[in-house]
Amino acid sequence: MGECATVRLCLPSLADDDPLFSKKMKLLSARNLSSELQLRQGLTKEEVLIGLGRLVQCARILLLDEVEIYFVEGDDSGPFSPRNEIESLNLVLSAIDDSFEGTLGVAVEVLKFLKEATLEMIGKIGAQCTDYVISEESNSTVEELLIKWGKEQGVKTKLRIFHFEGAGRGAVASRDLDVGDIALEIPASLIICEELVYESEMFGILKNLDGISSETMMLLWTMKERHNPDSRFKVYFDTLPTEFRTGLSFGIHALAALEGTMLFEELVQAKEHLRHQYDALCPALCADHPNVFQSDMYTWDQFVWACELWYSNSMKIVFSDGKLRTCLVPIAGFLNHSLYPHVTRYGKVDPASDSLRLILSRPCDRGEQCFLSYGSFPSSHLVTFYGFLPRDMHRNPYDVIPLDFEDLVDKEGDQGPGVDGGWSTHMVRGTWLSKSKAPPNYGLPPPLLDHLRSRAVLEAALSIFSPMLEGIGADDIDRDGASWDVKLALDFVDLQRKIISSVVASSSLALQSLGPL
Ligand SMILES: C[S@@+](CC[C@H](N)C(=O)[O-])C[C@H]1O[C@@H](n2cnc3c(N)ncnc32)[C@H](O)[C@@H]1O
């Protein structure tokens, strides 16, 4: 770029209240990265690209979350995860877009070059993501009616609904969509949230109950409203399945298949918690106010249905009044989750249009399934609350197993691993996700080993995981004839076993490398 004029790009600086502030600052300074890029005149294209690369590295660090930062290895400059990469490149893109304003002449060409290069990087994300196969276009009247109803009330969509093998319904781009395009726009007035309870007759009763949360009120409202033939949201309720298949509906055989895993305990506890909640609320409401809470609508099964609906379909959204509400969003609820999402941030109502806009953070070609990110969840959370494991489950960077071995180490008079590295929690994940499986870490996370007593930590990890590996899952279950919940449980067990075996193998190697005491 012979005549490159000065161009200045600025990423937002790291917020003081970022809980990972000091760790991120440490990484930035160790790598000598700045959130500002100045390109002076006369640089070559290669030099401009090097500058862009450094800015992307900085953005990656700024946007690391607590799991990602824990697994950052040595001087690895990323990418760290698909989520982190998509958001980092979009951050850089908006810095480039901001710089166009007031820029003239050759500098505009440089910015265009930078923008193209960034879009090219974004375009490469997701190339390895595993496709879901369309089983049929949804020509069922319920989904069509919902879209028609939505459009009449201001919904704008560039998506069509299809059925996918193993994922239910999903949304497909009806034309090529680029970064920044709005795939779906839902007026705030169509979003189902707590205000509807406040307007309903049941609120007069619920507001007198001590400590009842708006989420619980919404559960109770949904249980009744789904049967209301005059509901404003009838077309939406008609699209909902009569039964959800999440971990909360696992039968005894699926639970038996999970024995020895942490998910077994989690599911049993989650179910018990819901049972307590149900027992404390529904029978009394039905007995005291039978005209409002009809007992046939407030059975245990219907309560679990409503919980599963809210866990698997709700979104947390900030409205124009600044308040965060947990909501059900008709039509947006058809979008499935991916580790390589097209839409990453959809948590805020756009104040100008008073609508929820699903804006693309990476392109989605016509005919391609358009995915959201539901969040950075481990597979146990996805099974419990959503009832699936993604096709790319082996690549899930958030599929971590927390390590609670302070007890084990502390008892021996050690100061414990949480203290010296400034890490309050330790965790492991499949070591195949590591970029350096070589000594000294053998694919284990650096903070786990990066302190004085790594021998004690490795021994503690082995003492936790080796017995777990032996006790995990029953081998004698016939997968072919199994029901949906047993199959899902077995897939989960296989994945856990793989993760734990990899950690045991790496810990043993790392321990051997330390040699005898
Ligand atoms: C918000 S809904 C999405 C629409 C849903 N597929 C349907 O047919 O209504 C969330 C549910 O979709 C399914 N799902 C989402 N993402 C998935 C994925 N990547 N693979 C398999 N199932 C998925 C799970 O059953 C999950 O509980």
Q: Which of 388, 391, 392, 396 to mutate to test the pocket of ligand 1 (most atoms within 8 A of CB)?
A: 388
User: What value, to the nearest 5°, has the Cα angle with vertex 239 and ends 173 and 237?
Assistant: 130
pLDDT in the model for residue 413: 44
Lowest mean pLDDT among 148-152, 252-256, 406-410: 406-410
Distances (CA, A) of 313 to 33, 96, 128, 241: 40, 35, 27, 12
Smallest CA-to-CA distance from 71 within 515, 488, 441, 480 is with 441
| pLDDT tens-digit series, residues 205-229 | 999 999 999 999 999 999 999 999 9
| pLDDT tens-digit series, residues 473-500 | 766 778 888 999 999 999 999 999 999 9
Q: Is the Cβ atom of 310 under 6 angstroms away from ligand 1?
A: no
Q: How confident is the model at residue 439 (pLDDT cuts 50, 70, 90)?
A: confident
Q: In terms of residue numbers, what domain contains 88?
A: 7-124
Which structure tokens are listed for 389? Answer: 């494991």
pLDDT in the model for residue 451: 61
Question: In the chain, what percentage of residues exceed pLDDT 70?
Answer: 94
CA of 20 to the centre of ligand 1 (A): 32
Task: Give Cβ neighbours of residue 460 (< 8 Å, ≥ 6 apart).
Answer: 403, 405, 408, 409
Q: How confident is the model at residue 419 (pLDDT cuts 50, 70, 90)?
A: very low
| pLDDT tens-digit series, residues 88-104 | 999 999 999 999 988 87
Instruction: Flag whether 470 is in a domain.
Output: yes
Domain termination site, one of 282, 314, 346: 314
Ligand 1: atom nearest CA of 245 is 25
Q: Is the Cβ atom of 154 under 6 angstroms away from ligand 1?
A: no
CA of 81 to the centre of ligand 1 (A): 22
Instruction: Flag whether 307 is in a domain.
Output: yes
Q: How confident is the model at residue 138 (pLDDT cuts 50, 70, 90)?
A: low
Residue 8 dihedral angles phi and psi, to the nearest 5°? -125, 125
Q: Which helix (H) or strand (E) holds 173?
A: strand 168-173
Measured distance CA(330)–CA(467) in Å, rounded? 46
Instruction: Flag whether 340 is in a domain.
Output: no
- Cβ neighbour number for residue 133 with a 10 Å cutoff: 10
* Average of per-residue pLDDT across 288-299: 98
Instruction: Flag whether 394 is in a domain.
Output: no
pLDDT in the model for residue 252: 94
Measured distance CA(490)–CA(481) in Å, rounded? 13
ipTM over 0.90: yes
Task: Give Cβ neighbours of residue 93 (< 8 Å, ≥ 6 apart).
Answer: 115, 118, 119, 122, 179
| C-alpha dihedral sign at 135, 136, 141, 142 | positive
Q: Is the Cβ atom of 336 under 6 angstroms away from ligand 1?
A: yes
Q: What one-character DSSP code corresponds to residue 463?
A: H
pLDDT in the model for residue 453: 64
Measured distance CA(162)–CA(133) in Å, rounded? 10
Lowest mean pLDDT among 56-65, 171-180, 430-439, 496-505: 430-439
Residue 350, pLDDT > 60, answer: yes
280 against 426, higher pLDDT: 280
- The domain total for the chain is 3
CA of 167 to the centre of ligand 1 (A): 5
Residue 171, beta-bridge partner list: 161
Pairing of strands 182-187, 159-164: unpaired
Distances (CA, A) of 302 to 241, 254, 293: 12, 21, 13
pLDDT in the model for residue 97: 96
Instruction: Flag whether 325 is in a domain.
Output: no
* Average of per-residue pLDDT across 303-325: 97
124 against 416, higher pLDDT: 124
Amino acid at 276: H
CA of 398 to the centre of ligand 1 (A): 18
Q: Is the Cβ atom of 388 under 6 angstroms away from ligand 1?
A: yes
Smallest CA-to-CA distance from 255 within 242, 243, 269 is with 269
Residue 196, pLDDT > 90, answer: yes
Lowest mean pLDDT among 300-314, 347-361, 435-449: 435-449
Nearest CA to ligand 1 atom 22: 167
CA of 160 to the centre of ligand 1 (A): 15
- Alpha-helical regions (H) of 207-251: 214-225, 234-238
Instruction: Flag whether 167 is in a domain.
Output: no
CA of 336 to the centre of ligand 1 (A): 5
Amino acid at 499: I
Smallest CA-to-CA distance from 159 within 141, 182, 136 is with 182
- Mean pLDDT, the chain, rounded, equals 92
Question: In the chain, what percentage of residues exceed pLDDT 90?
Answer: 79
Asked if 326 and 221 touch (Cβ cutoff 8 Å), the reply is no
Instruction: Flag whether 59 is in a domain.
Output: yes
Instruction: Flag whether 381 is in a domain.
Output: no
Which structure tokens are listed for 395? Answer: 């690549």
| CATH code, domain with 266 | 3.90.1410.10
Which structure tokens are listed for 315? Answer: 């979104």
Asked if 335 and 343 touch (Cβ cutoff 8 Å), the reply is yes
Torsional class of 490: left (φ above 0), alpha (ψ -120 to 50), beta (otherwise): alpha
The structure tokens 């607590």 sit at 66
CA of 321 to the centre of ligand 1 (A): 30
* Average of per-residue pLDDT across 26-43: 94
Domain termination site, one of 124, 150, 181: 124
Rg of the chain in Å (alpha carbons): 26
Smallest CA-to-CA distance from 1 within 117, 93, 98 is with 117
Q: Is 28 exposed, middle or buried (0-12, 13-18, 19+ CB in 10 A)?
A: middle
The structure tokens 């104040």 sit at 351
pLDDT in the model for residue 458: 87
Q: Is the Cβ atom of 373 under 6 angstroms away from ligand 1?
A: no
State whether 218 and 120 are in the same domain.
no
Which structure tokens are listed for 130? Answer: 């595993």
State whether 405 and 299 are in the same domain.
no
Q: How confident is the model at residue 49 (pLDDT cuts 50, 70, 90)?
A: very high
Q: What is the DSSP string of 306-351?
A: HHHHHHHHEEEEE-TTS-EEEEE-TTGGGPPB-SS-SB----BEET
Residue 282, pLDDT > 80, answer: yes
Instruction: Rounding to the nearest 10 degrees, give the CA dihedral for residues 401, 342, 55, 14.
Output: -60
Q: Is the Cβ atom of 168 under 6 angstroms away from ligand 1?
A: yes
pLDDT in the model for residue 405: 62
Measured distance CA(10)–CA(282) in Å, rounded? 55
Q: How confident is the model at residue 139 (pLDDT cuts 50, 70, 90)?
A: low
Q: Is the Cβ atom of 177 under 6 angstroms away from ligand 1?
A: no
CA of 166 to the centre of ligand 1 (A): 9
Nearest CA to ligand 1 atom 26: 386
CA of 312 to the centre of ligand 1 (A): 8
| pLDDT tens-digit series, residues 365-418 | 999 999 999 999 999 999 999 999 999 999 999 999 998 766 545 444 444 444
